[in-house]
Structures are given as structure tokens and as C-alpha cells.
Amino acid sequence: MAVPKRKTTPMKRGFRRSADALQAAAYVEDKDSGELRRPHHVDLKTGMYRGRQILTPKNA
């Protein structure tokens, strides 16, 4: 039977458990197009961010 040689430190235990707190990605409805997008991210379909044209629209 496998037995740990040393006690796991609280820091290493915290590293392992840090993934337990992860949450699903949030999405908001775009005011202009009405499609879902990530908050604080550029809308890749329209190229708009905070009411300004940042990128050229992606051709689909």
C-alpha cells in the first residue's frame, strides 16, 4: 500500500484545491447585436468594443 513519505504542506494542498473555486465563464447580451459575448472583450463578429470600432468585422 502506498503511504506518503512527508506530510503535505498547506501551500501545496491549497494549490491542489485552487481549481475547486473556478466558475463557468460569464456571458452578457450585446447591446447592439443582441448576441452573447464575454464581458470586457471585443465582439469578434462586429469588431466593436465599448461603442467604438476596434477591429474590422470578421467575415463568416
Per-residue H/E/C for the chain: CCCCCCCCCHHHHHHHHHHHHCCCCCCEECCCCCCEECCCCCCCCCCEECCEECCCCCCC
Mean per-residue pLDDT for 3-7? 95
Looking at the domain assignment, is residue 30 inside a domain?
A: yes
Mean per-residue pLDDT for 40-53? 88
Looking at the domain assignment, is residue 39 inside a domain?
A: yes
Looking at the domain assignment, is residue 29 inside a domain?
A: yes
Looking at the domain assignment, is residue 2 inside a domain?
A: no
**Residue 60 scores a pLDDT above 60:** no
Q: Residue 58: its pLDDT value, please?
A: 64
Looking at the domain assignment, is residue 5 inside a domain?
A: no
Looking at the domain assignment, is residue 3 inside a domain?
A: no
List all residues 6 or more positions away from 25 whose beta carbon is below 8 Å from its beta carbon: 38
| Domain total of the chain | 1
Looking at the domain assignment, is residue 14 inside a domain?
A: no
Looking at the domain assignment, is residue 51 inside a domain?
A: yes
Rounded Cα distance between 50 and 53, Å, is 9
- The pTM of this model reads 0.54
The CA–CA distances, whole Å, from 56 to 21, 44, 53 equal: 36, 9, 8
In this predicted model, what pLDDT tens digit does every residue of 9-45 receive, in sequence order? 999 999 999 988 888 889 999 887 788 999 999 888 8
Domain range spanning residue 56? Answer: 24-60
